[in-house]
Structure 1
Amino acid sequence: MESKIYITTPIYYVNDVPHIGHTSTTVAADILARFQKQEGKDVFFLTGTDEHGAKVAEAAEKEGLSPQAFTDKVSKTFSEIWPKLDINYDYFIRTTNPQHIKIVQEILEKIYKKGDIYKAKYTGLYCIGCEKFITESELIKGRCPLHPTREIVSQEEENYFFRLSKYVPTLINAIENENHPLHYKISPEGKRSEVLARLKSGVNDLSISRAEVSWGIPLPWDKTQTLYVWIDALFNYYTATIITHRENFWPADLHLLGKEILWFHAVIWQALLLSAELSLPKEIFAHDFYLIDGQKMSKSLGNVISPEDLIKKYGVDGARYLIAATFPTNGDNDVGWKKFTEKYNSDLANGLGNLIARISKLCENYNLKFSTGSIKSISTEVKEKLTKIKLSEAIEIILTKIDKENKRINEERPWEKKDNDLKIFLNVAVENIRQIATDLLPFMPKTAREILNQFEGPTIKQKEPLFPRIK
């Protein structure tokens, strides 16, 4: 078994501040990184910010700041909020880092000299919101599905193209054949099918530079053009390993990302790596979106949920739990304050918190002694779900254990038992709680450690409620 594991989130675009979409991906990646660390792996966990492009320059101008000053300010909102959610990333990369820029230019030069980049005129529809050319078939009622309020403009310019079409047969074979030397996994299965269908329907070469966007990485052979922001961003996963002297972590084991950027990661990124003669990442996992009370999240609707709001209402571990329990992998998941609060109260206040309070009170009241904690490993069934990135299913397993233990208390009424029978009952309960807490360590690190400390033994005392009910 390999001892090194490299896990990434996307790097987030600095035209906006962190919201629940960014938060869900980053919390999920942290849970997976913590799980792998518990399994004894040497983990490199990367996140960061994507800082070039026309949208950033436009947003900076609106605030009366230079693009660099603007990106410094917004990038900080990401790098500083994650530790507040107990997200323990190993490195935070910024695409304005001079080392990143230098490495990207060196790779581009290699691809260009190989003949995989050429100059041509391009006329097409351009979505300013996505900062990319978009095809007629991708539009819904003449608008980009991700930016329905932004105009689609027709643009013609001479720029540089990457020979994406050249690599399509190799990519199809690499995805379909698990024994292919270049095989990489796309998960869940439905997302893999989508990518393959699109690859097989025909793929054009890709415009990778802009002549009219100054805030970007200049092409090393033509300084009048800058690299298209999404190409710049993709290289972060590789450049980070060189910047941090972790070259031996490449290729990445897992790119965790939202479904809207699956094509970039599953196809464009892989083709660029093939051209640059670099190893391909092992798995790309694309999750779905959160809907907020049945609607897409947007500033205009005023339904944006920020990580600060989640922490304020539910606490750090409460927020982490709710994200894991609702992490959308089988279609978009409808959430909102009402649903989150109901789940917090049922699972944490009435479920876990109630169980800990009831058992610790019985242990203290009868002044019983217990063997010291012995459980060191996450249970097999939870491990299986975490290995498959099924976070909500892992939570369901843990929740079933909590419910089962609460039900056992209700049915067996331990307070009515005689000394020896009570001790037998509580011995089982204490061991079950220790296992539940160990299973929760990647999800709710602080709470899980508190429970393990409280139930370490030999004596067990009642403490303040872990999760007071929220109205």
Structure 2
Amino acid sequence: MAQNSFYVTTPIYYVNAAPHLGHAYTTIAADVMARHHRQKGDDVFFLTGTDEHGEPVALAAEAAGVTPRELADKNAERFKALAPVLNATNDFFIRTSDPEHVRAVQEVLTKVKDNGYVELGVYEGWYCPRCADFKSEQEIIEGNKCPIHLIELDWEQEENYFFKLSKLQGRLEELYENHPDFVAPQSRRNEALSFIKSGLNDVSLTRGKLSWGVPVPWDEKHVFYVWFDALLNYYTALTYARPGEDLRGEFWPASYHLIAKDILKFHCVFWPALLMAADLPLPRRVFVHGYLLLEGHKMSKSLGNVLDPFEVIDKYGSDALRFYLLRDVSFGQDGSVSTADFEKRYDSELANDFGNLASRTIKMLIRYRDGAVPQVELDPAMHAEFEELNTKVSSLIGRAELTPALEEIWVRIRRLNAYVGDNEPWKLAKDPERAADLDRVLATLIEGVRVVTVLLHPWIPDRAGRLLHALGAPEDLHDTDPSLTIAGAQYGARVPRQVADIEPLFPKQQQPA
């Protein structure tokens, strides 16, 4: 992969039901990273999509009285519609029912077989149909239940082809020892490594009792186990995402896979092992985030405790949702979400801290200087506050520490608000002898507003774009525009010359009486 390439993926989302806020969470996080790397000038590829095979889809389709294909087609469109509503800039949307994906899966897994990592056997064990996963004794909770879906497990016995995972235990341990940042955060790395060191068993590569899946080319009675089909999407998408091009040379291995902790075993153990068996390069990093919790539980379609991202966006806009999910819940940890907390963040931080700062700074420039920004030396006291802020934010995003990066920016927003209070420009405007002081304060404020807005753009691209346009940037602003570069987000680098008035960025919502 070229040095200036950045490839980020979300998990592909299961089509047995409609999208919810948990799906939006990962997509937003990946989009923040993709947008930031475009600001850096990197060649970016951002992938998301849908996982459409396996028993959960077949069971959901049967319950709905439709075919698995009909259910997949219907729900895939709903997931595809979610990305633009979130203002996500994914470069491709993969469906695992795509014929190009199917062919590539068959090629890779045939290579795994040819390399000696596949054998025929009989599997017996406890199985969760909603996870599409056989559970080890350590993974089963009281009542013989799945720890994720809280349903009783089924005892399954069938003839399968097995992936010889056990043969790769030593190589996986070496991977974790030699590349300590392969999985983050550290707690998730430790969890994956503990699973590996507890002893790996061979796992089912195919299913003999299902028909809704990728056919096994060497045995037509089997389809590939859905997880191996799904994991390969990150690789197969690059073979056909751009018609007539093979993007693997530019973007593989992936820079970041973003996943939730419930699929850690598959992405941090099975996935690198599968790539090793196929003689393919491993991804650089897997970042495992926590759950969004509602009433103390992970949001889950099967548990029925989901929030509709479309409803939130209809009322507040996509920027407010993007900001809240990565501000209120530290990315990488579990965190509770609620309407009350959302509204509090919206009012106190988006409307007051940031929106009001931008609005009153622009209005003071218009009132006192006819919108012309004084081209004077900025207040040296503020230089230290902003020194290397852009590199700090970039470094944090490079480690997928999206919430701390946002806090770094917000510290400066609070400092700019304090600067207004400390200097009281409305009082300076009343004293003609202090015109030079007013010029310095106004120029310092608007440059600070510009810098934080450029850095905030990956989180709130719509409102940040509107504000930057009011500061002189093009109206149809793109992530690669010079007005948005991370290098240009250096304090004092691009002081605006003229400002235009702007409507409130985050207007207060009228609450019911």
Q: Do structure 1's residue 147 and structure 2's residue 186 form an aligned pair? A: no
> Could you state the TM-score of these two structures normalised by the residue count of structure 2?
0.87
Partner of 1:124: 125
Question: Secondary structure of the equivalent of 1:87?
Answer: coil
Provide Cα deviations, 1:32-61, integer angstroms capped at 9, x if missing partner: 001111101001111110000111112122
Provide Cα deviations, 1:387-440, integer angstroms capped at 9, x if missing partner: 111111111111111111111112221100032211111010011001011111
Provide Cα deviations, 1:229-267, integer angstroms capped at 9, x if missing partner: 111000101111111321211111111111111111111
Q: Give the Cα separation in 2 of the matches to 1:427 and 1:246.
A: 45
Provide Cα deviations, 1:293-346, integer angstroms capped at 9, x if missing partner: 433324587541122022123211111111221344453111111111111111
Partner of 1:45: 46
Q: Give the Cα separation in 1 of the matches to 2:127 and 2:40.
A: 46
Q: Give the Cα separation in 2 of the matches to 1:30 and 1:50.
A: 19
- Whether the 8 Å contact between 2:292 and 2:335 is mirrored in structure 1 is yes
Q: Give the Cα separation in 2 of the matches to 1:93 and 1:156.
A: 32
Provide Cα deviations, 1:62-113, integer angstroms capped at 9, x if missing partner: 2222211211110010111111111010011110011111111111222212
Provide Cα deviations, 1:178-202, integer angstroms capped at 9, x if missing partner: 4xxxx87111111111111111111
Q: Give the Cα separation in 2 of the matches to 1:101 and 1:302.
A: 32
- Whether the 8 Å contact between 1:378 and 1:435 is mirrored in structure 2 is no
- Whether the 8 Å contact between 1:29 and 1:256 is mirrored in structure 2 is yes
Partner of 2:65: 64
Q: Which of 464, 482, 500 is the matching residue for 1:448?
A: 464
Kindly state the Cα deviation for residue 386 of structure 1 after the two structures are TM-superposed: 0.9
Q: Give the Cα separation in 2 of the matches to 1:300 and 1:281.
A: 31
Partner of 2:210: 213
Change (3 A) 1:214 1:299: closer
Q: Give the Cα separation in 1 of the matches to 2:41 and 2:498.
A: 30
Partner of 1:287: 289
Residue type of the partner of 1:275? Answer: A
Q: Do structure 1's residue 223 and structure 2's residue 226 form an aligned pair? A: no
Q: Do structure 1's residue 251 and structure 2's residue 262 form an aligned pair? A: no
Partner of 1:415: 426
> Could you state the TM-score of these two structures normalised by the residue count of structure 1?
0.95
Partner of 1:438: 454
Identical positions, percent = 41
Question: Secondary structure of the equivalent of 1:218?
Answer: coil
CA root-mean-square deviation = 2.0
- Whether the 8 Å contact between 2:15 and 2:57 is mirrored in structure 1 is yes
Q: Give the Cα separation in 1 of the matches to 2:277 and 2:87.
A: 38
Residue type of the partner of 2:236? Answer: T
Residue type of the partner of 2:247? Answer: R
Kindly state the Cα deviation for residue 350 of structure 1 after the two structures are TM-superposed: 1.1
Q: Give the Cα separation in 2 of the matches to 1:66 and 1:330.
A: 37
Kindly state the Cα deviation for residue 114 of structure 1 after the two structures are TM-superposed: 2.3
- Whether the 8 Å contact between 2:24 and 2:82 is mirrored in structure 1 is no
Q: Which of 372, 386, 389 is the matching residue for 2:397?
A: 386
Q: Give the Cα separation in 2 of the matches to 1:446 and 1:198.
A: 43
Q: Give the Cα separation in 1 of the matches to 2:96 and 2:468.
A: 41
Partner of 2:328: 326
Partner of 2:14: 13
Q: Which of 271, 274, 279 is the matching residue for 1:272?
A: 274
Question: Secondary structure of the equivalent of 1:108?
Answer: helix
Provide Cα deviations, 1:359-400, integer angstroms capped at 9, x if missing partner: 11111111342268x99x971221121111111111111111
Partner of 2:413: 402
Q: Give the Cα separation in 1 of the matches to 2:289 and 2:12.
A: 15
Q: What 5-or-longer segments of structure 1 have no aligned partner? A: none
Q: Give the Cα separation in 2 of the matches to 1:241 and 1:296.
A: 32
Partner of 2:484: none
- Whether the 8 Å contact between 1:127 and 1:133 is mirrored in structure 2 is yes
Equivalent residue runs for 1:83-94 within 5 Å: 83-94=84-95
Partner of 2:499: 460
Question: Secondary structure of the equivalent of 2:220?
Answer: strand
Q: Which of 186, 189, 194 is the matching residue for 1:192?
A: 189
Q: Which of 413, 417, 442 is the matching residue for 1:426?
A: 442
Q: Say how many residue pairs are matched.
A: 465
- Whether the 8 Å contact between 1:167 and 1:271 is mirrored in structure 2 is yes
Change (3 A) 1:235 1:7: same
Q: Give the Cα separation in 2 of the matches to 1:299 and 1:207.
A: 26
Q: Give the Cα separation in 2 of the matches to 1:398 and 1:9.
A: 25
Question: Secondary structure of the equivalent of 2:13?
Answer: strand
Partner of 1:370: 373
Q: Give the Cα separation in 2 of the matches to 1:255 and 1:330.
A: 13
Change (3 A) 1:334 1:269: same
- Of the structure 1 ranges 32-41 and 303-312, higher mean CA displacement relative to structure 2 is found in 303-312
Question: Secondary structure of the equivalent of 1:214?
Answer: coil
Partner of 1:233: 230
Question: Secondary structure of the equivalent of 2:336?
Answer: strand
Residue type of the partner of 1:112? Answer: K
